[in-house]
């Protein structure tokens, strides 16, 4: 069963949905037992369909799992919540969170992060912040993913003071910004033409022991080129090897 699961999931990741479905059918006819993972992967197949009713089939799968087993677990719920959030169906995503709690299934960081990302991608930053405050007040330990999603949204919205204050209290709250956190911040600064500040963050990154990665480099290039600072871009490109960066 685990081998089938791994195979089917790889096919999904490679966008070979038809092959994934076919392989899932083989699993069904093999007589091997289906696990929660198997059905979570099947849920992903349903959700990757382009049909308008893909969520209806997802809901009915979830119902059947609740009724007959194997029962959904946190990954199953998070998978569905993530898909709903990405589709902008936040209200329904929260409905699944309620269902999850009703069934005594404990949410994970991925569960919450998917919901926060859903809010942020709809531009509902206030709601996202409110939700973060809420789960923290329930003792949920903040993680880097969660704050990076928030900082991404705030940065795209130009709310840099807010970003600074979130970063300022990160140590106290028990999380550390990573390279992606700085990347999203720098990306927002670049889009807002605050190029100087973006470059200063490079030093901050390195002081915190973080190595700028390929995305960092591309963010800075894009920003310099947009601002017709081609000369500076060329200079940076020339220096990239001595900074141990590897443009692709």
Nearer to RNA, 102 or 105 (CB): 105
CA distances from 216 to 67, 99, 115, 171, 180 (A): 48, 39, 26, 23, 8
21 binds RNA (CB under 7 A): no
Nearer to RNA, 18 or 148 (CB): 148
204 binds RNA (CB under 7 A): no
Residue from 32, 57, 59, 74 in contact with RNA (CB under 7 A): 74
Nearer to RNA, 162 or 178 (CB): 178
Of 144, 100, 152, 107, residue with least CA distance to 128: 152
Return d(Cα 192, Cα 26) in angstroms, integer: 52
- Which range of residues in 68-76, 98-106, 126-134, 199-207 is near RNA by CB under 7 A? 68-76
Residue from 5, 58, 61, 92 in contact with RNA (CB under 7 A): 5
Question: In whole angstroms, how close is the CB of 227 to RNA at the nearest point?
Answer: 13
108 binds RNA (CB under 7 A): yes
* Structure-token pair, residue 77: 């719920």
Of 156, 230, 237, 147, residue with least CA distance to 189: 156
Cβ–Cβ under 8 Å, residues 204 and 189? no
Return d(Cα 207, Cα 203) in angstroms, integer: 6
184 binds RNA (CB under 7 A): yes
E strand or H helix at 213, and its extent? none
Q: Give me the residues that bind RNA (CB under 7 A), please.
A: 1-3, 5-6, 9, 13, 35-38, 40-41, 44, 73-76, 78-79, 82, 108-111, 113-114, 117, 143-146, 148-149, 152, 178-181, 183-184, 187, 213, 215-216, 218-219, 222
């Amino acid at each position: 069963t685990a081998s089938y699961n791994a195979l089917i999931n790889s096919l999904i990741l490679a966008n070979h949905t038809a092959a994934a479905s076919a392989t899932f059918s083989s699993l069904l006819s093999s007589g091997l037992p289906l696990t929660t993972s198997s059905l979570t992967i099947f849920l992903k197949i349903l959700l990757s369909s382009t049909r308008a009713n893909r969520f209806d089939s997802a809901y009915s799968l979830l119902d059947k799992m609740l009724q007959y087993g194997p029962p959904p677990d946190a990954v199953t719920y998070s998978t569905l919540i993530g898909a709903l959030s990405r589709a902008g169906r936040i209200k329904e995503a929260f409905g699944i969170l309620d269902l999850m709690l009703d069934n005594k299934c404990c949410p994970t960081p991925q569960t919450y992060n998917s919901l926060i990302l859903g809010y942020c991608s709809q531009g509902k930053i206030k709601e996202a912040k409110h939700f973060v405050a809420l789960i923290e007040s329930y003792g949920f330990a903040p993680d880097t993913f969660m704050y990076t999603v928030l900082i991404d949204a705030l940065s795209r919205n130009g709310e840099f003071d807010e970003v600074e204050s979130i970063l300022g209290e990160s140590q106290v709250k028990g999380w550390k910004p990573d390279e992606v956190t700085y990347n999203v911040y720098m990306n927002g600064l670049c889009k807002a033409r605050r190029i100087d500040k973006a470059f200063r963050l490079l030093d901050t990154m390195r002081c915190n022991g973080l190595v700028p990665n390929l995305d960092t480099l591309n963010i800075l290039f894009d920003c310099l080129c947009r601002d017709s600072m081609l000369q500076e871009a060329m200079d940076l490109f020339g220096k990239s090897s001595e900074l141990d960066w590897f443009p692709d």
